[in-house]
Amino acid sequence: MTRAIFLALTAALIGCRSRDGTDADRLVVYSAGPRPLAEAICAAFTQATGTPVDLFQATTGQLMARLEAEKYRPRADIVLFASEIAAAALKREGRLLRFRPEAAERLRADWSDPDETYWASGAALVGVAVRRDFAERAPRRWSDWFALADARRIVMPSPSRSGATGDFVVTLALQWPEETFAGFARLRLAGMDFAAANSQAIGGLQMGAHDALIGAVDYLIYQQIARGEPLEMLYPEEGAVLVTRPIAILAATPRPDAAKAFVEFYLAPESQRRVAAAHLAPARADVAPSPARGAELPRWIRADPVAAVLRQGAILRRFQLDIERAASARALRRAAGAAP
Amino acid sequence: MTRRRTRGETGAPGAASVSLAVAALAIACAYPLLLLFVQSLFPNALGGEWSGFLSPYRRLFSTPDLARMLGHSLSWAAATTAVAWFFGIPCGFLLARCALPGKGFARLTMLAPLMTPPYIAALSYVVLLQPGGFGDRLIGVPEPLRDWFFSFHGVTMAMALASFGYVALGVEAALLRLPPRMEDAALQLGASRPRLWRSILIPLLLPAILNTGLLVFLDALSNFGVPAVLGTRANLALLPAEIYHLLTSWPVDVPVATALSSLLCLLALLSLRISAALTRGSGSAGGRAAGGRLVKLSPARAALAWLWIGGLFVLSTALPYAAMIAMSLVDRWTDGAPAWTLRHYGALFRPASGGRAALLTSLGLAAAAATLCAAGGGFVAYVAARSGRLARRAIEALAILPRALPKIVMTVGLILAWNAPWVRVNLYGTLGMLLLAYVVCYISDALAYAGAALRRMNPRLETAALQLGAGRVAVLARIVAPQLGPALAAAWLTTFIVCVRELVCSILLLPPGVETTATFIFNQFEQGDLSSAMAMATVTIGVTATILFLLQRTPLFRMKGDV
């Protein structure tokens, strides 16, 4: 047996021969969001410029954890988040490089940082996804959703587990503080269910376990619709929540020129058309959104990133304690009664 | 055992072995843990600032709900362990001591639940039991059952069903090494069956029961996936979820997350000490192992045994797998009814999808990690068992702590450790880093199994060999290793299985462009492609099961106790 173990060990060591992680000319990109999109744009960039790209793909939260763990010896050159709050937080710590790409004029107004540290590469809108057979009966305004008497067939991804839903709750709570908490408390009281992740909630919608998904990220729903799923995306009249997907260069990058070239490339029409094809809203005003999405963006609201960075923790904590984990129906009723 | 030993040429390992074991553990486990601990004391220590001493702990106690989370976590982990014992101990006995037809298959059914990534199993239960799910479509799920499942009870049940295999295998391995002399004597002296269990079997099995129970307990204590998927309805507030939240949402707070994790470490050490105190009385029973002698079961009893094993198999494996496979075959849902297809499987193995590469990476990494764990863990356990009390305690504690921490904390610790400015080895960012992480996180399996086996092994044989002039390497290779064989084989199997499905370390540590099956599945989920994710999960489990089935036919893994 010793010999067997020895052989296995040797095989393991040979099998796991490491590749060199610190190649001087490789660009390191940390990206959240649709993986095929990031892969395609990175491959196109390498083909166009000859610069090889190491793409590390995870959720925004996981990227933040990794960036924090690497704080004392940064590895990434570019970050691409699925949330503006994450980028604003890095900016606050002075970890982003100021840079104005040539495409800046072509980008949609006020989607990006006025101080030019991060730029929207695209955006998603957060609203309500419904089954097509429920669409006719579905409320059209947030206030009507919040007033539903029976919410047992409504689901929402948990804001402390799904980044996009977290941004959605923070934005609503900054815009309409009291109405938002009272509204979600009322929905919870009426039987609304929480799911651990977007995909789990979407799955429940497809299977018919739920009629409506509050806090749905629209590009994921459009992907499902494009596959023929009988779903529809609704944007309540007061405004859907705009969640931009910022791209930024880390200040510690040893390769600022390659990094700048990458940002330019991501904001160029060719890449932006790929963004649109993934059903995200492109950041360039001169690139048309996908047909499923439609040319016109609905009315939207967006959180002030500075306020959002400061208040996010408190808002999500309050949501978690008062609504998700409310100890009793009475506690929920108290939270729901806070506003008319 | 310790009392009988004298200084000099005894079974005690030499200084070289002890330092080797301690050094390996210090670099692999203690170094990242130490960095984490320093950060929790001085939040900016790695940045060269020594300000804010203890501030994370002060902030920790202002965490709302802390006492409630702690209470929930403890009671949940304890309940899970109790249920896993209830399921697993009879299974272990049936496997080891009874002439049960179809035993190989029965053993596979114990391993099957370990193969399923916990969040996949949880999600399968959701798909099965949620309103309008598969269960409703087929038979209609009674409302009370649904309410029961989506509560504390259901979450406990799901976790226990996922991990009772540890207990069953540990108890089986222990029973196989147990000499029948004492049992025979007791029975011949007229002891009743219950008396036999109470006075002889339970005390002798206690190390195995407690060690495997500890694994289940620690897994539940640090698990995030199952409560995250099932627990949202159950409204369970647990510590790992809080820690995960602290590390993945802004502001990322490594010091407070670490301080919170140190509570989990404390609980782990406490349970380790309690289990050690409980096993102190139970010693070894000398003599030859049971070998092939088995209890004949009457047809009625055999049927009952199969009802137990089969019932567990249905609940832990057949039902969730059926839901998983059904999901992987769904083309699309029209009016809540599925249309079926095989295309998700075809898509997995198209070269561009990377599915096959991910599978091969996972299998290779898991085999390497399991081998390293079995060899390293066996060696460390041997050194620990045969050296002084202090060294033993230190080694046991070091190896168990990474298991008690939520994986994301351990991963952050490993990144801090191996990406530090003073590290000259270029390990971080390579596959080797992930291999190290697997070994660090799962070496406790091998230690638990080997430790239980060693406690029953008498060191006299080793002493005799040494006095007859055999070298220490020869003692290790020709006396210790063969006796540890079954325990290490069991450890290899469970480690291999959990490494194939490991998600958190893999996501954060994989080098760019490389995927494992778990990250592949996770990415498909993120893109909202449940069917592809379930197809990959099905293929992974199928391949793992085939490998285990083939391994069981080799002599090493057949788990015969005879030396």
Domain range annotation of chain A: 24-123+243-294, 125-241+301-336
Two domains, one topology: A24-123+243-294 and A125-241+301-336:
yes
CB B232 to CB A85 under 8 A? no
Closest chain B residue by Cα to residue A204: B127
CA distance B9 to A176: 78
- Per-residue model confidence as pLDDT tens digits over B396-438: 888 888 888 888 888 989 998 998 888 888 888 889 999 999 9
Whether the per-residue pLDDT at A249 is higher than 60: the answer is: yes
Q: How confident is the model at residue B8 (pLDDT cuts 50, 70, 90)?
A: very low
Q: Which of A18, A57, A161 sits opposite B228 (nearest CB)?
A: A161
Domain ranges in chain B are 15-52+68-282+294-558
pLDDT at position B553: 77
CB B141 within 8 A of CB B135: yes
CB A313 to CB B249 under 8 A? yes
Average pLDDT of the segment spanning B338-353: 81
Pairing of β A154-157 and β A193-195: parallel
Q: What angle do CA B469, B474, B478 make, to 5 degrees?
A: 115
Name the DSSP letter for residue B113.
H
Q: How confident is the model at residue B10 (pLDDT cuts 50, 70, 90)?
A: low
Per the listing, tokens 């990250």 go with B519
CATH code assigned to A24-123+243-294: 3.40.190.10
CA distance B6 to B454: 18
Mutant choice from B147, B327, B473, B526 vs A, greatest count of A C-beta within 10 A: B526
**Partners of residue B428 in chain A, C-beta under 8 Å:** 21
Q: What angle do CA B7, B10, B14 make, to 5 degrees?
A: 90
Closest-CA distance of chain A to residue B370, Å: 10
Question: B177 is written with which tokens?
Answer: 């090494």
CA distance A80 to B451: 47
Q: How many residues does chain A have?
A: 340
pLDDT at position B120: 82
**Which CATH superfamily hosts domain A125-241+301-336?**
Periplasmic binding protein-like II (3.40.190.10)
CA distance B239 to B233: 17
Per the listing, tokens 């199969």 go with B306
- Per-residue model confidence as pLDDT tens digits over B154-172: 889 988 998 898 899 888 8
- Per-residue model confidence as pLDDT tens digits over B264-314: 888 888 888 888 787 776 555 555 555 556 778 788 888 888 899 999 999
CA distance A74 to A72: 6
Please give the C-alpha separations between residue A40 and each of A47, A50, A273, A277, A287, in angstroms, as whole numbers: 11, 15, 12, 12, 18
Pick the CATH number of B15-52+68-282+294-558 from 1.10.3720.10, 3.40.630.30, 1.10.1740.10, 3.30.70.3280: 1.10.3720.10
pLDDT at position B17: 78
Mutant choice from A13, A14, A17, A19 vs B, greatest count of B C-beta within 10 A: A19
Average pLDDT of the segment spanning A146-171: 90
**Partners of residue B479 in chain A, C-beta under 8 Å:** none
**Partners of residue B374 in chain A, C-beta under 8 Å:** 5
- Could you tell me which residue, A294 or A260, shows the higher pLDDT? A260
**Partners of residue A64 in chain B, C-beta under 8 Å:** 248-250, 252
CB B435 to CB A228 under 8 A? no
CB A83 within 8 A of CB A75: no
Express as a percent the part of chain B with pLDDT over 90: 13
B340 membership: H or E segment, kind and range: strand B337-340
Q: How confident is the model at residue A278 (pLDDT cuts 50, 70, 90)?
A: very high
- The distance from CA B85 to its chain's CA centroid, rounded to whole angstroms, is 14
Please give the C-alpha separations between residue B351 and each of A243, B341, B354, B358, B531, in angstroms, as whole numbers: 34, 20, 6, 11, 19
pLDDT at position A215: 94
- Per-residue model confidence as pLDDT tens digits over A9-37: 454 444 444 334 445 678 999 998 788 89
Where do the DSSP E strands lie in A67-149?
78-80, 118-131
Mutant choice from B249, B363, B560 vs A, greatest count of A C-beta within 10 A: B249
Q: How confident is the model at residue B13 (pLDDT cuts 50, 70, 90)?
A: low
Cβ atoms within 10 Å, residue A152: 13
CB A1 to CB B481 under 8 A? yes
**Partners of residue A58 in chain B, C-beta under 8 Å:** 507-508
Average pLDDT of the segment spanning A283-293: 92
Closest chain A residue by Cα to residue B475: A2
pLDDT at position A315: 92
pLDDT at position B282: 57
Average pLDDT of the segment spanning A281-300: 92
Predicted complex ipTM: 0.81
pLDDT at position A16: 43
CB B132 to CB A208 under 8 A? yes
Name the DSSP letter for residue A289.
P
pLDDT at position A19: 39
**Partners of residue A204 in chain B, C-beta under 8 Å:** 126, 130
CB A8 to CB B241 under 8 A? no
Q: How confident is the model at residue A340 (pLDDT cuts 50, 70, 90)?
A: very low
Report chain B's terminal Cα–Cα distance, integer Å: 21
CB A248 within 8 A of CB A117: yes
Closest chain A residue by Cα to residue B36: A69
CB A317 to CB B64 under 8 A? yes
- At B70, which amino acid appears? L
CA nearest to A110, candidates A314, A310, A297, A312: A297
Sign of CA dihedral A140, A143, A149, A155: positive
**Partners of residue B528 in chain A, C-beta under 8 Å:** 198-199, 202, 220, 223-224
Whether the per-residue pLDDT at B52 is higher than 90: the answer is: no
Pairing of β B337-340 and β B330-334: antiparallel
- Per-residue model confidence as pLDDT tens digits over B439-474: 999 988 888 888 877 877 777 778 888 888 777 777
CB A18 within 8 A of CB B426: yes
Contacts of B161 (CB under 8 A, 6+ apart): B87, B113, B121, B312, B315, B316
pLDDT at position B9: 47
**Partners of residue A220 in chain B, C-beta under 8 Å:** 527-528
- Could you tell me which residue, A109 or B233, shows the higher pLDDT? A109
Per the listing, tokens 């700048």 go with A260
CA distance B112 to B106: 10
Closest-CA distance of chain B to residue A18, Å: 5
**Partners of residue A162 in chain B, C-beta under 8 Å:** none
Average pLDDT of the segment spanning B189-199: 82
CB B523 to CB A161 under 8 A? no
Q: Which of A61, A65, A197 sits opposite B525 (nearest CB)?
A: A197
pLDDT at position B545: 86
CB A207 to CB B126 under 8 A? no
Where helices occur in B423-514 by DSSP H, the ranges are 431-456, 460-467, 472-475, 481-501, 504-509
CB B508 to CB A65 under 8 A? yes
pLDDT at position B531: 85
Please give the C-alpha separations between residue B406 and each of A58, A156, A174, A340, B186, in angstroms, as whole numbers: 18, 26, 33, 42, 45
CA distance B563 to A109: 77
CA atoms within 13 A on the CB side of A98: 5
Cβ atoms within 10 Å, residue B63: 16
- Could you tell me which residue, A91 or B137, shows the higher pLDDT? A91
Closest chain A residue by Cα to residue B483: A1
CA distance A156 to B109: 36
**Partners of residue A208 in chain B, C-beta under 8 Å:** 132, 333, 335-336
Q: Residue A280 — φ and ψ, nearest 5°?
A: -80, 155
CA nearest to A65, candidates B555, B234, B257, B236: B257
**Partners of residue B254 in chain A, C-beta under 8 Å:** 68-69
CA distance B119 to B380: 32
CB B249 to CB A166 under 8 A? yes
Q: Which of B371, B508, B533 sits opposite A8 (nearest CB)?
A: B371
The string of DSSP letters for A21-68 reads S--TTPEEEEE-S-HHHHHHHHHHHHHHH---EEEEE--HHHHHHHHH
Mutant choice from B49, B238, B250 vs A, greatest count of A C-beta within 10 A: B250
Closest chain A residue by Cα to residue B482: A1
CB A9 to CB B526 under 8 A? no
CA nearest to A181, candidates A301, A329, A324: A324
Average pLDDT of the segment spanning B523-542: 85
**Partners of residue A317 in chain B, C-beta under 8 Å:** 64
Q: How confident is the model at residue B368 (pLDDT cuts 50, 70, 90)?
A: very high
Cβ atoms within 10 Å, residue B202: 13
Query: How many Cβ pairs within 8 Å bridge chains A and B?
Result: 193
The string of DSSP letters for B181-209 reads HHHHHHHHTT--HHHHIIIIIHHHHHHHH
Closest-CA distance of chain A to residue B89, Å: 29
CA distance A257 to A238: 43
Q: Which of A58, A228, A313 sits opposite B507 (nearest CB)?
A: A58
Q: Which of A22, A89, A206 sits opposite B250 (nearest CB)?
A: A89
Q: Which of A19, A312, A324 sits opposite B511 (nearest CB)?
A: A19
Phi-psi map region of A50: left, alpha, beta (phi>0 left; psi -120 to 50 alpha): left
pLDDT at position A45: 97
Question: B404 is written with which tokens?
Answer: 């008690």
Written in H, E and C, the secondary structure of B244-297 is HHHHHCCCCCHHHHHHHHHHHHHHHHHHHHHHHHHHCCCCCCCCCCCCCCCECC
Question: B213 is written with which tokens?
Answer: 């129970």
- At A272, which amino acid appears? Q
Closest-CA distance of chain B to residue A41, Å: 14
CB A8 to CB B254 under 8 A? no
CA distance B226 to B155: 7
Average pLDDT value over all residues in chain A: 88
**Is cis: bond before B251, omega within 30 of 0?**
yes
- Could you tell me which residue, A44 or B299, shows the higher pLDDT? A44
Closest-CA distance of chain B to residue A306, Å: 13
Pairing of β A118-131 and β A240-249: antiparallel
CB B415 to CB A204 under 8 A? no
CB A205 within 8 A of CB A213: yes
Cβ atoms within 10 Å, residue B546: 10
pLDDT at position B142: 85
Q: How confident is the model at residue B245 (pLDDT cuts 50, 70, 90)?
A: confident
CB B265 within 8 A of CB B401: yes
